[in-house]
Amino acid sequence: MSNARTRIVKRAVQEIQDGMNVNLGIGIPTLIANEIPADFNVLLQSENGLLGIGPYPEAGKEDPDLINAGKETVTAIEGASFFDSAESFAMIRGGHIDLAILGGMEVSERGDLANWMIPGKMVKGMGGAMDLVNGAKRVVVIMEHVNKKGESKVKKECTLPLTGKQVVHRLITDLAVFDFTPDGMVLVETQEGVTVEEVRQQTEASFQVIHELLTK
């Protein structure tokens, strides 16, 4: 992983609590599976029909029949269960997923999320993201703060097609952590070595800063 992704993943794993049912979206979120503490009783769910995902398999021990929603080979922990998509989405829509950690292309200052397509590029569909942002009890989005052009992905308004409106509870980037409240977007943490001013320079969205950071 790049240094940016390492920071994001290590901070994101702190969102997972013992006893949770957690869905990890495709992309960066799948890397979190290897970082969950071994003594945690956590069930990872994949919307293609697996509850009880384990770490990535060792080289040479991959099972092509065991894949996650991103078509990556995975392992299954003892006691894992397999089911069809209807059962999987009944779990999601029924509010049985405690936490969904999803990747993002853009997040707006109101907590809107765009993470499923870039116009002009071939995509197969939205997948389970639309259901997860509305069915999971808590939605955390993780992504790099700027795109390859150096443009902020934390926007006033998303320019890409939306996955959901006002659905993000927390955003974690390689620079900072934001929460979304009825009073607006709030900067609650900065990554190690990052100042509030650096976050402001790299962020298009407007946000408030909690008092603890203002006094640093």
What's the token pair of residue 44?
Answer: 């990872």
Q: What is the pTM of this model?
A: 0.94
Residue-by-residue pLDDT tens, the chain, 216 positions: 579 999 999 999 999 999 999 999 988 999 999 899 889 999 999 999 999 999 889 999 999 999 988 889 999 999 999 999 999 999 999 999 999 999 999 999 999 999 988 777 766 667 789 999 999 999 999 999 999 999 999 999 999 999 999 999 999 999 999 999 999 999 999 999 999 999 999 999 999 999 888 655
23, with CB counted inside 10 A (0-12, 13-18, 19+), is: buried
DSSP 51-111: EEE-SPPPTT---TT-B-TTS-B--EEEEEEE--HHHHHHHHHTT--SEEEEE-SEEETT-
pLDDT at 70: 84
- Domains of the chain in start order, with CATH, are 3-214 (3.40.1080.10)
Residue 97 Cα to chain centre, angstroms: 14
Q: What is the C-alpha separation between 54 and 121, in angstroms, rounded?
A: 32
pLDDT at 2: 79
- Which are the catalytic amino acids? 47
DSSP count for the chain of H helices, then E strands: 5, 13
pLDDT at 215: 58
